[in-house]
Each structure stands twice: as structure tokens, then as C-alpha cells.
Amino acid sequence: MDDRDGFQGFLTFLGAGLNATASIIVGLAAGKSDDNRPFLLFSAVFLGILGVTLFVMVMRNRRSRPDPAGPPADEPPPVIADTKQMTYDVFLSSPMASLSSNEDYVSHRRGILRIMEALERDCRFKVYYAGERRPTRDSFERPDVGAHRDSAALRESARFLLVMPEDLVSSSYVEAGYALALGIPSVYYHQADIRLPFMLRQAAQYGPDFPRCKEYEFQQMDDIVRDIEENGTSLFG
């Protein structure tokens, strides 16, 4: 017991004594009929209020004091869980409308679907790819509808994967920048003769405001599929 505990014990005892004294005085006043009776009643009320005040002060002080022992040793610290649930594990981005012909699009889409299958098979990822249900250029959505759908999916994706087969002016670069702004870890695959926009080149080196990013060159879609098969989820680590 420290000094504060001893002092609070004394105040508790004093408050109880004052209340007891007030009760005795009230009993004495009940048998009096002379001029001393008002004084005795006043004294009893005063002592009673003082005793209750001391008792309340002690109780408030005890409640405000932290437990010196702290939480039990076997009690684990509280865990703050990330409650945000992602709909997709990977947002797979690659040029679609910017490809020069429908034949080029169909051929390129075939390779991207192989990458998508590898991500689902070897990483157990749920993948969003805008061209999954767009077999030809004629099946494209209206631009405003597609942009709204793609941006919503990107906000609900845990990772971003860019595949750039040619040096094109593509909205895929806009999606890559949006992924950076959202803090999504990203991997960029591009042909050797393609130079990515300045903000995407080794983006992680620019400081803590940028998420983890990787940049790889590839020649064939098989190179990307092989990387996924060999490295699995660590490709994004």
C-alpha cells in the first residue's frame, strides 16, 4: 500500500465517522425541545454532507487511477484488423481499343487469358480483366460505362498487373497511375523497346508515398506465364 492508499483509507474512515456522528446528533436533537435543537440539526446536516463528500471524493479517485498491474500477462494485445474486403486479388490491365485491328486484339486477348488462367491456377487469385467477356472489338462497352466499371473494380483490387505488348497510347497507363494513387502494389510487364512513362519507371524508389512496384521485360506471353508458374504470389511480394 502506498501513501495515496493510506490517505484515502483515512478519508474513508473520517467520512464514516462524520456520518455516524451526524446520526448521533440527529438522535440527540429528536429529544430536545429547547433552542438548542435547530443548532443540533444544522450540525448534523453539515457533518452528514461533509462525510458524503469525502466518500465520493475517495470513490472517484479510485476509479480514475490506472491498474498498476496492467492487463494480465497471458492476455494478448488487441489486434486491429483490416476490415476492408477486396473483391479481386489482381486487376489485370492490358491495351484493348488501342490495338490497331480486331485480329490484333483477338490474338492479344488470347495471351492475356492465358496469364489470367495462370494467376487463378497457380496463385489462387480472383482476377479482374475487362476483356474477359469481350471476344472482339465489336463487343466493347460504351466508353463511359466501361470506365466506370473498370475504376470501381480497380478500387476493389489488392494488386495491379500491367502487360504492355506495344508502344501504344493506352488507357492502361491511366489505370496504372490510378493504382499508384490508391497505393496498390503493382507489377509492370513490357517489351524491351518500350519505355514506360516517367512516373511508372521504378515507382517504388520515389519514397513512401508510392506502393511496392516491379518492372519486368518480356518477349512472349509464355515468359509471363512461366514467371507466375515459378514464383506464384511472391511475384507481387
Query: What are the domain boundaries of the chain?
Result: 3-64, 90-236
Of residues 199 and 66, the one with the higher pLDDT is 199
Please state, rounded to an integer, the average pLDDT across all residues of the chain. 80
Question: Which ranges constitute the DSSP H helices of 156-220?
Answer: 171-182
Q: What pLDDT band is residue 79 in, cutting at 50, 70 and 90?
A: very low
Single pTM value for the model: 0.65
Q: What is the pLDDT of residue 184?
A: 95
> For the residues 4-29, what does the mean pLDDT come to?
56
- 225: Cα within 13 Å, side-chain hemisphere: 13
pLDDT digits (tens, 9 = 90+) for 136-182: 999 999 989 999 999 999 999 999 999 999 999 999 999 999 999 99
Per-residue pLDDT averaged across 79-96, rounded? 79
Residue 150 has a pLDDT of 96
What is the average pLDDT across 108-125?
98
Q: Are 216 and 194 a contacting pair, CB within 8 Å?
A: no
The span from the CA of 102 to the CA of 108, in Å, is 10
Give the CATH architecture of domain 90-236.
3-Layer(aba) Sandwich (3.40)
> What whole-number distance in Å separates Cα of residue 13 and Cα of residue 55?
9
Predicted pLDDT at 198: 86
Cβ(109)–Cβ(131) below 8 Å: yes
State residue 78's pLDDT score: 46
pLDDT tens profile 17-73: 555 565 555 555 555 555 555 555 555 555 556 555 655 565 556 655 555 555 555
CA–CA separation, 143 vs 193, rounded Å? 29
Q: Residue 81 above 90 pLDDT?
A: no
In which band, very low, low, confident or very high, does the pLDDT at 82 lie, cut at 50, 70 and 90? very low
Q: What percentage of residues in the chain have a pLDDT greater than 90?
A: 55
Q: Is the pLDDT of residue 210 over 60?
A: yes
